[in-house]
Amino acid sequence: MIIEGVEIEDTFAEAFGMRATRLVVTADALRWARIAGETAAGFATSVIGCGAEAGIERELAPEETPDGRPGIALLIFGMNREGLAKTVRDRVGQCVLTCPGTACYGGLEGGEPLPLGRVLRYFGDGHEAAKQIDGRRYWRIPVMDGEFLCEDTVGQQKAVGGGNFLILGHTRASVLAAAERAVGAMRVLPGVIMPFPGGVVRSGSKIGSRYKGLTASSNLAYCPTVRGVVETALAPEIAAVLEIVIDGLTEAAVGQAMATGIRAACRGGAGEIARISAGNYGGKLGAFQFHLRTLLA
Amino acid sequence: MIRLMLRARPPTRLSFRGLIPERLAGLSADSIARQALRQGNRVGVIGDCFSVDLAGGAEDRLVISGAGDCLDDVGAEMSRGELVVEGDAGARVGLEMSGGRIVIEGSVGFGAGMAMRGGELRIRGNAGDDVGGALPGEREGMRNGMLVVEGSAGAGVGDRMRLGLIVVRGSVGAFCGARMSAGTIIVGGGIGEGAGAAMRRGTVIAPRGNLRTLPGFADSGAHDLTVLRLLGRALAVHGLSEVASGFFDLRRWQGDVAVGGKGEIWTPP
Domain residue ranges of chain A, discontinuous segments joined by + = 2-14+159-296, 19-157
By Cβ distance, the residue of A67, A127, A130 closest to B230 is A67
For the segment A189-217, the average pLDDT, to the nearest whole number, is 93
Asked if B227 and A134 come within 8 Å (Cβ–Cβ), the reply is no
How far does B245 lie from chain A, in Å, by closest CA? 14
Contacts of B148 in chain A (CB under 8 A): none
Judge: B230–A69 Cβ closer than 8 Å, yes or no.
no
CA distance B30 to chain A (A): 40
**How many C-beta atoms surround the C-beta of residue B137 within 10 A?**
5
Which chain A residues are closer than 8 Å to B230 by Cβ?
Answer: 66-67, 103, 133, 138, 149
What pLDDT does residue A284 have?
Answer: 78
pLDDT confidence tier of residue A197, bands split at 50, 70 and 90: very high
Which of the four pLDDT bands, split at 50, 70 and 90, describes residue A257?
Answer: very high
Of B56 and A72, the structure prediction assigns the larger pLDDT to: A72
| Range B3-10 average pLDDT | 90
List of chain A residues whose C-beta atoms are within 8 Å of the C-beta of residue B183 = 132
CA-nearest residue of chain A to B203?
Answer: A131
A133 with B234: Cβ contact below 8 A? yes
Contact A138 B227 (CB under 8 A): yes
Pick the CATH number of A2-14+159-296 from 1.20.1250.20, 1.10.1660.10, 3.30.70.520, 3.40.50.2300: 3.30.70.520
Q: Do A103 and B226 touch (CB under 8 A)?
A: yes
Annotate chain A with three-state secondary structure: CEECCEEECCCEEEEEEEEEEEEEEECCCHHHHHHHHHHHCCCCCCHHHHCCEEEEEEEECHHHCCCCCCEEEEEEEECCHHHHHHHHHHHHHHHHCCCCCCEEEECCCCCCCEECHHHHHHHHCCCCEEEEECCEEEEEEEECCEEEEEECEECCEEEEEEEEEEEEECCHHHHHHHHHHHHHHHCCCCCEECCCHHHCECCCEEECCCCCCCCEEECHHHCHHHCCCCCCCCCCCCCEEEEEEEEECCHHHHHHHHHHHHHHHHCCCCCCEEEEECCCCCCCCCCEEEEHHHHHC
**Chain A interface includes B203 (CB < 8 A):** yes
In chain A, whose CA is at the least distance from the CA of B237?
A: A134
Residue B163, chain A, CB below 8 Å: the answer is yes
CB contacts < 8 A, A to B, total: 51
Chain A residues near any Cβ of chain B (below 8 Å): 26, 66-69, 103, 127, 129-134, 138, 140, 146-147, 149
Q: Please state the separation of Cα B75 from the chain's center in Å.
A: 12
pLDDT at A16: 94
Compute the distance between CA of residue A122 and CA of residue B243 in angstroms, rounded to an integer. 32
B249 interfacial to chain A (CB closer than 8 Å): no
Q: Which amino acid is at B44?
A: G
Model confidence band, residue A268 (pLDDT cutoffs 50, 70, 90): confident
- The verdict on domain A19-157 having CATH code 3.30.1360.170 is no
Mean pLDDT, residues A57-82: 97
Is residue B19's pLDDT more than 80? yes
Name the closest residue on chain A to residue B231, using Cα atoms. A133
Tell me the mean pLDDT in the region B165-186.
97
Q: Which residue of B has its CA nearest to A64?
A: B233
A150: closest chain B residue by CA: B227
pLDDT digits (tens, 9 = 90+) for B228-242: 999 999 999 999 999
Q: Which residues of A touch B224 (CB under 8 A)?
A: 146
Measured between beta carbons, which residues in chain A are less than 8 angstroms from residue B163?
132
Closest chain A residue by Cα to residue B222:
A146
Whether residue A158 contacts residue A263, with contact meaning beta carbons closer than 8 Å, is answered with no
Average pLDDT of the residues in A29-48: 96
pLDDT score for A243: 97
Q: Do B201 and A149 touch (CB under 8 A)?
A: no
Contact B222, B265 (CB under 8 A): no
Q: What pLDDT digit, counting tens, does each position of B110-168 carry? A: 999 999 999 999 999 999 999 999 999 999 999 999 999 999 999 999 999 999 999 99
Look over chain B and give the mean of its residue pLDDT values, rounded to a whole number.
Answer: 95
Shortest Cα–Cα distance, B54 to chain A (Å): 34
Mean pLDDT, rounded, for B85-96 = 96
Task: Give the side-chain half-sphere CA count within 13 A for B227.
Answer: 26
Question: What average pLDDT does this structure show over A86-115?
Answer: 96
- Chain B residues within 8 A of A62 when measuring between CB atoms: none
Of A68, A127, A147, the CB nearest to B225: A147
CB contact (8 A) between residue B226 and residue A149: yes
At A205-240, the pLDDT tens digits run 888 899 998 888 999 999 999 999 999 999 999 999
Q: Is the pLDDT of residue B68 over 90?
A: no
Identify the closest residue of chain B to A131 by CA–CA distance: B183
CB atoms within 10 A of CB B215: 9
Tell how far CA B159 is from the center of its chain. Answer: 12
pLDDT of residue A269: 79
Q: What is the mean pLDDT of chain A?
A: 95
Rounded to two decimals, the pTM is 0.93
For residues A137-154, give the mean pLDDT: 98
* More reliable by pLDDT, A107 or A1: A107
Predicted local confidence at residue B55, as pLDDT: 83
Q: Is B201 in Cβ contact with A131 (below 8 Å)?
A: no
| B164, B230, B233 member nearest A149 (Cβ) | B230
List the single best residue of A132, A151, A152 to mutate versus B (max B Cβ within 10 A).
A132
Among the partner-chain residues A26, A68, A140, the one whose CB lies closest to the CB of B227 is: A140
Contacts of residue A130 in chain B, CB cutoff 8 Å? Answer: 182
- B45 to chain A, any CB pair closer than 8 A? The answer is no
Task: Say yes or no: B226 contacts chain A, CB-CB below 8 A.
Answer: yes
Domain coordinates in residue numbering, chain B? 107-267
